[in-house]
Structure 1
Amino acid sequence: MTMLALATVLLIGITACSKKAEQGPNSNASTTFMHLHGLGYSADGKRLFIPVHNGLQVYADGSWNEGMGFTAVDDGFYSSGHPAPGSKYKNPLGLVKSTNDGKTITVLALEGEVDLHGMTAGYRTHTLYLANPELNSKMKQSGLFYSKDEGKTWTNSPATGLKGQMTAIAAHPSDASIAAVGTTTGAYLTRDYGQRFTPLVPEQPVSALTFTDSGNVLAATSGPNAALLEINIESKQSLAIQMPSKDTITYVVQNPANPKELALATEPKDVYLSTNRGATWIQIAEKGKTINLK
């Protein structure tokens, strides 16, 4: 499949579709979100961020509040999407960054040019990977690109060996050259900034993936034999993690401050949290409606 097609089908939502330029905390009343666009933790591991269509829901200490988002890194998050009506920012936002949970943002690149849906960043390296959807001032073609300078310059990657329609993308937390891509045919790994990809989970559709803090890959497969796997990228050995339901997993993330804590979201917009690496799960959202446990 051509990189144009890859860019077209990649709508993985680690960046939200719509953002508020400035937004403070809200009450912890139960709310409902129509669309869910990803998961991520704050650097201290105390807050779980869930970008939704009109901003960011923040889960902490058993309760929900609002913020903004996102692809999370150790000092904040990168984002894209569309500003709120009446905002001073151009539409679309291009690439922006916040270091204070979205209270304020800094425009980095491509403002008014492109909405960067298929984007991820290395948690510590801040190297950005994205499937560029269209020609713009920084990228003269569609396809897979990476940036090591917060979007000032972008390098095209040929993505040799990548097969199927892309469904998810993740960057290694501490090695800028390593990234993983999920597709309708499996999970693939690159060690050279997307020049070449090799199979990591072959012949199974992958609906979600992320890197753990240690550099393993958490990959969720879909279909009759759906599973949540933790894969060692060196040995290719995998360990199955118990899933909270049979629904397709759309996003999965590990708490950077607590490796045993995992969060995942499913197709019906259910969100689950585990503090013991999947042995047990608690539900914190059901069909898009947030659940306050306190």
Structure 2
Amino acid sequence: MKKLWIIAAGLTLGLSACGQNEEPKVTEEETAVEEQNEQTESQNTDDNKEIIANHDFFEPFDGKIDHIHGLGYAGNQGAPFFAAHDGLKVYENGKWYKTKEQNNDYMGFNATKAGFYTSGHPGQDSNLPNPLGIKTSTDNGQTLDKIALEGETDFHVMGVGYENQAIFVMNPHKNSIMKTEKFYLSEDNANSWQEVQANGLKDVLISVAVQPQKVDYLAAAGQQGIYLSKDKGENFEKITDSGQGTSVFFTNDSLIYGTYDGTAKLVKHSLSDGSETEIPLPKMEEDAVMYFAQNPQNEKEMTFVSFNGNIYYTKDSGSNWDLIVEAGNPK
């Protein structure tokens, strides 16, 4: 148990290093993104799709996959993206791929329906400012658009809604927008920020999450357990009785969270009535779920990264898990 939290704490301690009557205008970029999403959703109906494999920004990869700081189904493409210290890695149809360029050290990575949001530091092949601040991409990371605080802050603890793209962060230090080391929420793509009180969230945190559609729901995983807010972060309730929290992930109707009390657990918590069901996990010794994601197009498909650097993948809601990476090494 201590071993797990030492690893988790390392992630958080690194924080300190239009008119009303006018029709809304749709930009060419927004139209392109919408068309891409429609095409992607059509492609996702094919179980043997090969989107990443046929993309000229990716190439096959067989090296070590470690120092992961987030994962998710970026761009709703049906393949999980893993954000590592040396760029993005993608798992599709049993094969691994990596980005050819912009191999940045991604932190606070969050997949969204249009792409992803991230923080972190530029890689050796990048001319981006250090730190990245908050950036977003709708083209798999080929371009990273500035959202906020470029060159000022590296956010390790950041959550972004998959559809609403609301941003919730724990600010590690004073910057030009955030004057205190507290929690901030933006509902308008970082055009404005509101400091939230986060009452009840006195804990050392490893991760936070935002519900895909309703910004009212926020969650956090901390040393003392799992916390849930239903009022945009003003108040958090601890919803676990024992063990440390290790991961949080929202679907439209549930919070899926990981805990560790000597045994790893993965639990699905209903947002409507608070009922809970446990998701089966593979056999794990002194290990737990650190990052988890579910395919928005297929709820039976799930994957997670463990604290010991293992990556597991299932297509049947956890009845059977495949170990696809062991201690950073692809199987």
Q: Normalising by structure 1, report the TM-score.
A: 0.87
- Deviation, 1:284, is 1.3
Indicate the residue corresponding to 2:90 in structure 1.
58
Indicate the residue corresponding to 2:253 in structure 1.
215
* Secondary structure of residue in 2 paired with 1:81: strand
| Alignment partners' CA distance in 2, 1:171 and 1:138 | 21
User: Which amino acid is the alignment partner of residue 227 of structure 2?
Assistant: Y
The runs of 5 or more residues in structure 1 that have no matched partner are 1-8, 18-22
| Pair 1:35-2:75 in alignment | no
| Alignment partners' CA distance in 2, 1:43 and 1:34 | 23
Indicate the residue corresponding to 1:150 in structure 2.
189
The one of 77, 85, 96 equivalent to 2:124 is: 85
Q: Report 1 or 2 for greater relative contact order, CA contacts < 8 Å, sequence distance ≥ 6.
A: 1
Residues 305 and 311, structure 2, Cα contact 8 Å, conserved in 1:
yes
For 1:1-294, what aligned pairs fall within 5 Å after superposition?
11=11, 24-28=57-61, 30-67=62-99, 70-85=109-124, 87-212=126-251, 214-246=252-284, 247-291=287-331
Q: Where do 4+ consecutive residues of structure 1 move more than 6 Å? A: none
Q: Normalising by structure 2, report the TM-score.
A: 0.78
Q: Map Cα deviations across residues 253-273 of structure 1 (whole Å, 9 max, x no partner).
A: 111110111111111111011
When residues 43 and 98 of structure 1 are mapped into structure 2, their CA distance, relative to the original with a 3 A threshold, is closer
| Alignment partners' CA distance in 2, 1:56 and 1:274 | 21
- Deviation, 1:58, is 0.7
Task: Please identify which structure carries the higher helix content.
Answer: 2
| Alignment partners' CA distance in 1, 2:127 and 2:67 | 25
- Deviation, 1:199, is 2.0
User: Which amino acid is the alignment partner of residue 62 of structure 1?
Assistant: G
* Secondary structure of residue in 2 paired with 1:194: coil
Q: Map Cα deviations across residues 123-143 of structure 1 (whole Å, 9 max, x no partner).
A: 111000010101011111111
User: Which amino acid is the alignment partner of residue 58 of structure 1?
Assistant: V
| Alignment partners' CA distance in 1, 2:263 and 2:122 | 40
Residues 132 and 144, structure 1, Cα contact 8 Å, conserved in 2:
yes
* Secondary structure of residue in 2 paired with 1:140: coil
Larger radius of gyration: 2
- Deviation, 1:236, is 1.8
The runs of 5 or more residues in structure 2 that have no matched partner are 1-8, 18-55
- Deviation, 1:225, is 3.8
The alignment of Structure 1 onto Structure 2 pairs a total of residues equal to 273
